[in-house]
Amino acid sequence: MERVLYLVSLIMMILNTIRLFIHSFISSLHWVMGGIIYCFLVLLTFSCQKADPEKEAESVKRSYEAYLPEVTVTKLERQDFNKEVLSNGTLQAFRKAEIRSEVAGVITAVNIANGQRVTAGSRLVSLDDSEASQNLKRSQVSLDQAAIELEDQLINHQFDFDTTTMNQEVLRNLKIKSGYSTALLDLQEARHELSKTRINAPFPGRVADLDVKVYNHVSAGDEICKLIDDSKFEVVFPVIESEIALLQKGQAVQVSPYAINASYNGTITAINPLVDENGLIQVKALIDNSDGKLIEGLNVRVAIRQEVEGQLVIPKEALLQRDGRQVVFTLMEDSTAYWNYVEVGFENADSYTVTDGLEENQLIIIEGNINLAHESKVIQKGSVGSGSSTQTAP
C-alpha cells in the first residue's frame, strides 16, 4: 500500500513539473512572437516609404570619405633648377687700417669719436707740434743762410743768377759746397716730422676702437684708433673640396646676415688654391653696404646658385625616409597612394632633383604623406602648380 502511495505521489510531481514547463514555454513564445510582429510592422512601415537611391549613395560616400586621409599633390614637370652651395662666413671690411702715431708726443686734440664717419684727409688727432715747428724754423733759417753762401759762390765764379744757363754739374757742386743741398734736405725732413704730429684719415670710413684722450702721451707706434671703409665688405667663407668645381671668380653670391633681415648680392673675388687640413677651401666675395647696416665681424649665410636646365624637381616635403631608403608617394588614377623608391641628385633650400624612380607628369603627394602606406586610398583636397581640384576615391 505504501508503495502505491509513493508511486502516485511521484506521478503527481512529474505531471506538475510538465505543467510548469509548458506554461513557461507558452509565455516565452508570446514574447518572441511579439518581437517578430513588431519588427515586421517596422519593416512594413519603412517599405511603404519611397526610397531615394541618390541620397543613400551620397550618405554612404560621405561616411566612407570621412575615414580617408586627405592629400595635396603637384604635377611633376621638367624645369630649371637652382643648384646651391651653402656656407657660413663672416664680414671683413674691404679696407681697414690701424691708425698709429709715428712720433712720440702729447695729444692736443681729438676730433673724432667711435662710429663717426670721416672723409679722406680729415684730421683725426693732433699732437703737440711745438718742437717740430721749432725744428722747421731752424731748417728754414739754415736754408736761407746756405742760399746766401750759394750766391757768394756764384759771384766768385763770375756767374750771374740765371742758373738755367749754367752747366748743371758745376751748379750741383756749388750747392753742395755752399751747404745749400744739405739745408734743403733738412728743411724737407723738418716739414715731414711736423706732418707726423697731425694724424689724418688715409681713406674715407668709420672710426673704431678709439681709446685716447687729450693730454694722453703716446709713443711712436702706439695705436690711436682703427679706420674701417664700410662702403664694401669682403665675405670670407669655406666650401668643401667637392664643391669647388661649382665655383669660379666673378660668380654671383647672395649674402644674408643672421642679425639683419636683409640679403645682399655680391661676386666671388678670390678662391684660395689650397685645401686645409679639414678639407675646406677659403673663398672671398665682395658685397656693397648699400644701406649702411653691415658692420665688421657679422656672421652671415652665403648662398651660391647655379642654374641647371631640364630637371625633375620635387619639393622637400615630398621626400620621405622609409626603411633607410628615399620614398616619394604618387597619386594614381584610382585614388591610391603609390610608394616609389627614388634617387635624388642636386639639392637647394627647398627642393631636390630626382634622377631615378619617377617620371614626368606624375602627381606627387606633397602634403598628408607622412603616415601613408603603399596603395592606401586617399582623397585629394587640392593641387599645387596645376590648379586646385578634388578627386575622391571610388
Distance of CA 128 to the CA centre of its chain: 50
Distance of CA 254 to the CA centre of its chain: 8
How many other C-beta atoms lie within 10 A of the C-beta of residue 241?
12
pLDDT in tens, 100-138: 999 999 999 999 999 999 999 999 999 999 999 999 999
pLDDT confidence of residue 9: 60
pLDDT confidence of residue 31: 37
What percent of the chain is modeled with pLDDT above 90?
55
**φ, ψ at 45 (rounded to 5°):** -65, -45
- Whether 308 and 271 have beta carbons less than 8 Å apart is answered as no
pLDDT confidence of residue 3: 58
Residue 364 pLDDT greater than 50, yes or no: yes
CATH 2.40.50.100 fits 102-225, yes or no: yes
Asked if 70-80+310-384 and 102-225 have one fold, the answer is no
- Where in the chain are the domains? 70-80+310-384, 85-92+231-308, 102-225
pLDDT in tens, 179-194: 889 999 999 999 999 9
Which DSSP string do the residues of 262-308 spell out, in sequence order?
Answer: --EEEEEEEE-S---TTSEEEEEEEEE-TTS---TT-EEEEEEEEEE
Q: Which residues pair with 136 in a beta bridge?
A: none
When pLDDT is cut at 50, 70 and 90, the band that residue 19 belongs to is low
Candidate from 82-86, 255-259, 353-357 with smallest mean pLDDT: 82-86
CA dihedral 159, 161, 167, 172 (to 10 degrees): 110
User: What is the CATH number assigned to the segment(s) 85-92+231-308?
Assistant: 2.40.30.170
State the architecture of 70-80+310-384 in CATH terms: Beta Barrel (2.40)
Q: Angle, nearest 10°, between helix axes 180-195 and 130-156?
A: 160
